[in-house]
Structure 1
Amino acid sequence: MKFLISGFEPFGGDTVNPTGALMEALAYEVIEGAVIKTVLLPVNFDECADMLIAEMQAFQPDVVIACGLAKGRTAITPERIAINVKDIPPGSYADNQGQRPVDELIAAGSPDGLFSTLPIRKMVNEMMAAGIPATISNTAGTYICNNTMYRVLDYIRLQQLPVQAGFVHFPASTEMAVQAPSIPSLPLPVMLDALRSMIRTVMSETETNK
């Protein structure tokens, strides 16, 4: 199976983003049965999704797993749903180009919400069984991560592609917690183990459902 997996550059004043480091690590991974391509996305509304969709068109993946940082969360959280809005509330970070959309649709005429097509319950169960903190999230927010998830799912819907796709949020890394000791964090090797687990779970579920 062909997996396209994305992470993001740093944003919001941070100098690192663990999902970017995960993409670097995954580039050297060998997982039997999986062909993995990684891409690092900019934290810019629309540009991020445009880039990921262009990679989809070139690579023709079976599965897309977009990854992002949710600093403050205590577990790895596959997202259940993306909503058709981009909105940055007062006091929150603009994107890396300074954009601050308010109450804007991501795609006019498209559904209010689109659900992940990844086996998120099984993914969480497998991570938990391996001792990795994980839970399903029911909100991807209204920032870049939600924007990316929604655009990818909407593209798949419109093109009627046989592609599974979704989004996974990761906590801060231990490296980030050194600078801010009060934030929840996980070591990068644990996050990499989680990604390996999710890839294997998708392959297992796909084979079971054939």
Structure 2
Amino acid sequence: MKMLISGFEPFGDLTKNPTEELVKSASKWDISGVEINTILLPVVYRTCAQKLIEEVERVNPDVVLSLGVAVGRAMITPERIGINVQHTEGEGKFGDNTGKKPKNEPLIEGEPDGLFSPLPISTMTDRLKNAGIPAQISNTAGTYICNNTLYELLLYAKKQGSHLHTGFVHMPATPDMVVTSHAPSMSLDVQEKALRIMIETIRNERQN
């Protein structure tokens, strides 16, 4: 199985993004039956997905697993659905990294309101819990860059009619990111363990 894993650069008032460290780590892993490719994406509306689609066309993976940070979430949260909207609020209060702040705009006119991820998110979540890692399925990827990436990749895969399976997982902040805010956090070591488990789960599901 060939897998492409994406992470993001820092954004807003964050000086780091754990998903950048996760893709750096994953690029060095040797997991049986999996060829891992990685890419770091810009936190820019539409460009995030365009860059990822370009890499998909270059690498031709079987699976795209995109990662993003959700400051304030205490668990690993595989996303169920991407929605056709871009709206700046919450984590995106600063806009994207070019300052763009769309309000209640569709990502792509005339396309479906929502698209579901085909990844085995229930099994992924169960395996994480069994390993002692807090996890739950999320029913909203927000309306910021993470949702943008998820929705456009799902739409791309649908239009291609290909074997490509794609999905998105939100990771918590690391402890050093929330020292003064008292928000929930999860160490990078635990997040790396979680990512390995999710990769292995996806591999096992595809082999069955």
Q: Map of 1:30-109 to 2, 5 A cutoff?
A: 30-89=30-89, 92-109=93-110
> What is the match of residue 172 of structure 1?
173
Q: Secondary structure at the match of 1:185?
A: coil
Structure-1-length-normalised TM-score: 0.96
Q: CA deviation at 1:6?
A: 0.3
CA distance in 2, matches of 1:110, 1:79: 20
Letter in 2 for 1:98: G
RMSD: 1.2
Question: Which structure 2 segments of 5+ residues have no match?
Answer: none
Match for residue 205 of structure 2?
205
Unaligned stretches of 5+ in structure 1?
none
- Aligned residue for 1:138? 139
Aligned residue pairs, count: 207
Q: Deviations over 1:2-21 (max 9, x none)?
A: 00000000011111000001
Q: Using the TM superposition, give the Cα deviation of residue 89 of structure 1 relative to its aligned residue in structure 2, in angstroms.
A: 3.4
Q: Which amino acid aligns with 1:123?
A: M
Task: Give 3-state SS (helix, strand or coil) of 2:93's partner.
Answer: coil
One-letter amino acid of the structure 1 residue matched with residue 156 of structure 2: Y
Distance 2:79 2:36 in 1: 21
**What's the secondary structure of 1:132's corresponding residue?**
coil
Partners of 2:15 and 2:70 in 1: how far apart?
15
Correspondence 1:109-188 to 2 at 5 A: 109-178=110-179, 180-188=180-188
Deviations 1:52-108 (A, max 9, x none): 000000000000000001000010000000100001138822100000001111111
Deviation at 1:175, TM superposition (A): 2.3
1:190 aligned partner? 190
Counterpart residue identity of residue 83, structure 1: I
After superposition, give the CA deviation of every residue in 1:83-140 in whole Å (9 maximum; x if it has no partner). Answer: 0000113882210000000111111121100001100000000000001110000000
Q: TM-score, normalised by structure 2?
A: 0.97
In structure 2, distance between residues paired with 1:189 and 1:88: 31
Misfit runs of 4+, over 3 Å: none
Find the aligned partners of 2:142 and 2:181 in 1 and give their Cα distance. 24
- Letter of the aligned partner of 1:153 in structure 2? L
How far has the Cα of 1:181 moved from its partner?
Answer: 5.0
